[in-house]
Structure 1
Amino acid sequence: MMKLLTKENTAFVNWVRLCDIDNYYDCNLQKQEVEIAKPLYYASIAGWTGASYALLEMGADVNAQGGRYGNALQAASNGGHEAIAKLLMEKGADVNASGGEYGNALQGGSIEGHEAIAKLLIEKGADVNAQGGKYGNALQAASIRGHEATVKLLMERGADINALGGEYRLFSDSST
């Protein structure tokens, strides 16, 4: 697997072109290498803990930007891959890095109701009121999908129910 996860390997680029696990609906045989996220991102989104560890040991940039979710920590958080999220944070991943569809790792994990990951991110310093992404903030993301335990955690940790942003503008708009 590690031979595949080398961006210099044409097999990696062709794999992403044929079956991009970051976006299954985007089979693009003409996709350029600069449009493809780093191998660590793909290992993180797939939940491949061993490969993620090996790539980090080989010097992969833990904070490299790219992909639908923005970076490897955001991808692991959205996918519920707690062991990878922990590993990335141990290796210096920025818990407040912004970008991608959900804006940040906390929002990415909250939209799927991954309470354990949300708690871990908050303990590592994630801003519960950070704005950005499709839903505006983590509280809106968790509430729109009905993840009550994650909503409760975020509110206990100081999430602002009056914060504006995202498609639904206010927490009360997303919870109705």
Structure 2
Amino acid sequence: MGDDDRRDQILTAAERVATFEGLDKLTMRSAAAEAGVSLRLVQYYFGSKSSLLESVLTRFSDRSFAGWRARVGDEMSAREKVRAFVDAALPLDEERRAFHRLGVAFASLALSDPQLAAGIYRANLDATEEVLVDLIRSAALECGAADMEWRVEARTLMSLIHGVGTMIMVEQIDGPEAGRIVDRFLTGRVYLRRV
């Protein structure tokens, strides 16, 4: 097995531990045990728990963005891309539920142990925010609403996604109701109005 495959094997195992047992249970030792490799090998590839955590979140985030990109076609308007982003972020299947669960776990860890997770978690939030700022800016320009605070709009949308996602996860609402909530919110956004 090559280096990339071995690293991927360890990351997959670390994701399983983090997602189903919690971030507090993810250690270099637990990742090694789950992957069926030595602790020394995990240390070789990741060096520290912080590096392992960062790799887990980055990999999950990359897959989430890839899922969104797979839903987006070149022929779509920026408005349609914003909606596709929101739909891709809602935890309506097992992969997106696992990502949401991991995101909430990182948020909790960032609150209780800022040294360990705040930088990793913030970097992920910043990347998500930048994607949304670009999408909202494009959508606003498409409909002639150029005078906007795009970053505030992106943060508002991120807050909605997180809140609705958590409500889905705790089964306070289901997928169709989540869709209606998102539709109602997006209908009022000036950058999504048709020209």
User: TM class by shorter-chain length?
Assistant: 0.3 to 0.5
TM-score in terms of structure 2 length = 0.30
Which structure has the highest helix share of the two? Answer: 2
Higher RCO, Cα 8 Å, sep 6+? 2
Structure whose alpha-carbon radius of gyration is higher: 2
TM-score in terms of structure 1 length = 0.33
